[in-house]
């Protein structure tokens, strides 16, 4: 499992970290925003020889076309197998930069410097790498652990509020699946006003504990996917439309739908469903969509990676703080849960 370092002075800590490593070349992958907002925090300590690549920001660019550009850049720079790649950015940069590093010449080492809340609490840790393909989330990818993850809260100063909120969805997920006390101490009325440093550490510990027990998702790790079967379907369906949803915004919707399914299938009480709903809706509000969207969103769930043959398997809550997995759910039940979400009145 990768080493996770918490840094309070990223420039100094990265300088020290790189000083202890041997590599033939150093490559830095970032997106068009982190080039402007995050690179300046570390630029002065990077060796002059560092080669840099920036791709256009956003989920729309987490695809094969961008990977081709990254692999072309790596090839043109003459990177060999002793190259070290740094991914400086959010989950898109980490997932895609890591995937390109893990596949280039069958794999070069990489480290993640996550710069969004979402990537600090979740995406940078655990080695799930990949890209979207044919409209399906993370459809092509590998499991490869980074050499290290360096988390610095100072990057969050420039993060837009909607992106911070997107990351908060994964924080809520960590409490819901593994630790009821954690879920209940999170502030949701003034959700922006959290002790972020403690939250990042707590969430990383939950994620690490689960991944260490099941790195390649043959069982327990599936709980980290709570809210994601339906959430990913929403994210894919609205990607590139006027109603575009950030990953965490889509997962927030997915967690309500799947909490509803949990009351039908895995023993979550109606009182706890209402508690989950209240917290999520007070932070994220209610997302409006049309009845005509529901069949396509339902159908998108049939490509989820937890499915086997034609059976769709979900990770569902037994209670707040405990999650079960491998629970079969039908198209009809998925559709019902989406209509349930739709019918909620604020």
Ligand X SMILES: NC(=O)c1ccc[n+]([C@@H]2O[C@H](COP(=O)([O-])OP(=O)(O)OC[C@H]3O[C@@H](n4cnc5c(N)ncnc54)[C@H](O)[C@@H]3O)[C@@H](O)[C@H]2O)c1
Q: Which of 95, 258, 304, 324 binds ligand X (CB under 6 A)?
A: 95
CA distances from 248 to 79, 171, 180 (A): 35, 10, 20
Instruction: Using the minimum distance from each CB to ligand X, give the nearer residue, 173 or 320.
Output: 173
Q: Which stretch binds ligand X (CB under 6 A): 12-20, 85-93, 179-187, 321-329?
A: 85-93
Q: Packing angle between helix 331-343 and helix 293-300, nearest 10 degrees? A: 130
Residues 32-51 close enough to bind ligand X by CB under 6 A: 33-34, 37-38
Contact flag: residue 170 with ligand LNCXM5UN (CB under 6 A): yes
CB-based contact 89:34 (threshold 8 Å):
yes
Q: Look at residue 305 and give the partner it binds from ligand LNCXM5UN, ligand X, none, a contact being a CB closer than 5 to 8 Å depending on partner kind.
A: ligand LNCXM5UN
Residues 227-256 close enough to bind ligand X by CB under 6 A: 247
Contact flag: residue 138 with ligand LNCXM5UN (CB under 6 A): yes
Q: Look at residue 228 and give the partner it binds from ligand LNCXM5UN, ligand X, none, a contact being a CB closer than 5 to 8 Å depending on partner kind.
A: ligand LNCXM5UN
Contact flag: residue 121 with ligand LNCXM5UN (CB under 6 A): no
Q: Which stretch binds ligand X (CB under 6 A): 1-9, 114-122, 236-244, 319-327?
A: 114-122
Q: Which residues pair with 319 in a beta bridge?
A: 322
Q: Which stretch binds ligand LNCXM5UN (CB under 6 A): 8-16, 108-116, 121-129, 152-160?
A: 121-129
Contact flag: residue 31 with ligand X (CB under 6 A): yes
Q: What are phi and psi of 89, to 5 degrees?
A: 165, -165
- Report in angstroms how near the CB of residue 88 gets to ligand X at its nearest: 9
Q: Beta strand 84-89 with 26-31: parallel, antiparallel or unpaired?
A: parallel
- Report in angstroms how near the CB of residue 93 gets to ligand X at its nearest: 5
Tokens coding 151: 């988390």
Shortest-Cβ-distance residue relative to ligand X:
91
Contact flag: residue 303 with ligand X (CB under 6 A): no
Taking alpha carbons only, the member of 202, 170, 203 closest to residue 283 is: 170
Tell me the per-residue interface mask from 150 to 189 with ligand X, x by CB under 6 A, - otherwise: -----x--xx---x--x-----------------------
Instruction: Using the minimum distance from each CB to ligand X, give the nearer residue, 4 or 273.
Output: 4
Shortest-Cβ-distance residue relative to ligand LNCXM5UN:
138
Residues forming contacts to ligand X in the complex (CB under 6 A) are 31, 33-34, 37-38, 57-59, 62, 89-93, 95, 115-116, 118-119, 122-123, 126, 128, 137-138, 155, 158-159, 163, 166, 247
């Amino acid at each position: 499992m990768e080493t996770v370092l918490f840094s309070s002075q990223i420039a100094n800590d990265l300088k020290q970290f790189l000083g202890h490593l041997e590599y033939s070349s150093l490559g830095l992958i970032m997106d068009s925003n982190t080039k402007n907002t995050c690179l300046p925090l570390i630029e002065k300590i990077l060796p002059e020889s560092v080669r840099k690549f920036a791709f256009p920001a956003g989920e729309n660019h987490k695809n094969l076309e961008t990977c081709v550009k990254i692999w072309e850049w790596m090839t043109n720079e003459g990177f060999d197998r002793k190259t070290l790649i740094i991914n400086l950015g959010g989950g898109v940069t980490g997932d895609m930069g890591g995937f390109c590093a893990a596949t280039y010449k069958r794999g070069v080492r990489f480290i993640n410097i996550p710069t969004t809340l979402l990537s600090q609490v979740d995406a940078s840790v655990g080695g799930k790498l990949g890209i979207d393909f044919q409209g399906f989330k993370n459809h092509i990818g590998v499991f490869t652990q980074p050499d290290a993850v360096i988390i610095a809260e100072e990057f969050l100063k420039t993060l837009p509020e909607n992106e911070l909120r997107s990351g908060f969805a994964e924080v809520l997920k960590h409490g819901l699946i593994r630790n009821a006390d954690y879920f209940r101490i999170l502030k949701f009325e003034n959700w922006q006003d959290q002790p972020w440093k403690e939250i990042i550490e707590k969430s990383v510990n939950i994620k690490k504990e689960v991944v260490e027990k099941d790195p390649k998702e043959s069982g327990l790790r599936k709980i980290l996917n709570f809210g994601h079967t339906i959430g990913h379907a929403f994210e894919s369906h609205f990607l590139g439309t006027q109603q575009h949803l950030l990953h965490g915004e889509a997962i927030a919707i997915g967690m309500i739908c799947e909490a509803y399914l949990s009351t039908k299938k895995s023993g979550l009480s109606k009182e706890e469903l209402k508690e989950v709903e209240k917290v999520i809706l007070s932070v994220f509000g209610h997302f409006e969509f049309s009845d005509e969207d529901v069949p396509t969103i339902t159908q998108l769930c049939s490509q989820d990676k937890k499915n086997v043959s034609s059976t769709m398997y979900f990770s569902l809550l037994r209670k707040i703080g405990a999650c079960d997995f491998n629970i079969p759910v039908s198209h009809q039940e998925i559709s019902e849960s989406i209509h349930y979400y739709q019918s909620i009145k604020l």
